[in-house]
Amino acid sequence: MRKLILSALVATSVVAAAGTANAASGAVLTKPGFSWEGVFGQYDKAALKRGYQVFHDICSNCHGLKLVAYRNLSAVGLTEDEIKAVAAERELPDVPNDEGMISPRAGRASDKYISPFPNDQAAAAANGGALPPDLSLMAKARVGGPNYIYSLLLGYEDEAPADHPIPEGKSFNHIFPGNAISMPPQVMDDLVTYADGTKATKEQITHDVVTFLNWAAEPELDQRKSMGLKVMLFLAVLTALMYALKRQIWKNLH
């Protein structure tokens, strides 16, 4: 029996360890440590807002975020006016008018984040044939989640190793499965200027945009964790009350 438990434990730790290496490329992911990790971890509000700025200024030129409505961006610290302004930056086909003509209209707060390209074919054609995937659930879609995206964005090499040439138009990335990625390197120092004065190193920019993308994939995390804490507190108080009650009832019998 003991042996069985031991081997089960070993098996689980092997599986857990394998989870930290990227399944396809075998590269080990960097784990920068994020504020929302751990039992009580919550999103770092300032990082969320900075991360949104990076997504808006850089990533949203190629990637969509079609599961996030503009109005949800209030959770990352945008005001109502800022939300209206960012929604109006892009256009959507309107409903047909009385003559059946469809004209474009500006985006509204209630619209989902409007993708940069009208369709997947146009997106792929503009990116050397590779489709920039929608990033709404990317933090959940890859093994390693946020650590994968973090490591990927910082995983570029200027030159491919001599024994591993990369096709024209692609870049060498030691995290991406197969190493030849169609996304050029994105982050570099001082790529953005942060409104809150934070120094925009490439690690900081990456950390912030990954925070934003994790929020996009799991916006309810903060509520879930604070509800969990309340439930635990409630149960602790209830246990104490029950114990006191039990002692009261059994007092004369002991």
Residue partners of 80: CB distance under 8 A and separation at least 6: 74, 109
CB 63 within 8 A of CB 133: yes
Size of the site for ligand HEC (CB under 6 A): 21
Considering only residues 31-70, where is the footprint of ligand HEC by CB under 6 A? 54, 58-59, 61-63
Q: Output the smallest distance, CB 183 to ligand HEC, in A.
A: 3
Which residue in the block uniquely carries the two structure tokens 């690690």? 203
29 binds ligand HEC (CB under 6 A): no
Cβ proximity to ligand HEC: between 87 and 175 the closer is 175
Cβ proximity to ligand HEC: between 84 and 131 the closer is 131
> Dihedral of the CA atoms 226, 230, 236, 237 (nearest 10)?
150
83 binds ligand HEC (CB under 6 A): no
Considering only residues 99-128, where is the footprint of ligand HEC by CB under 6 A? 127
Contact stretch for ligand HEC (CB under 6 A) within 3-11, 39-47, 146-154, 192-200 = 146-154
Residue partners of 25: CB distance under 8 A and separation at least 6: 174, 175, 176, 177, 178, 179
Cβ proximity to ligand HEC: between 165 and 228 the closer is 165
Considering only residues 155-184, where is the footprint of ligand HEC by CB under 6 A? 181-183
CB 83 within 8 A of CB 74: yes
Contacts from 102-105 at CB under 8 Å and sequence distance 24+?
none
Task: Return the closest-CA partner of residue 176 out of 157, 201, 163.
Answer: 157
What residues line the site for ligand HEC (CB under 6 A)?
Answer: 54, 58-59, 61-63, 127, 130, 132-133, 138, 142, 149, 152-153, 181-183, 186-187, 209
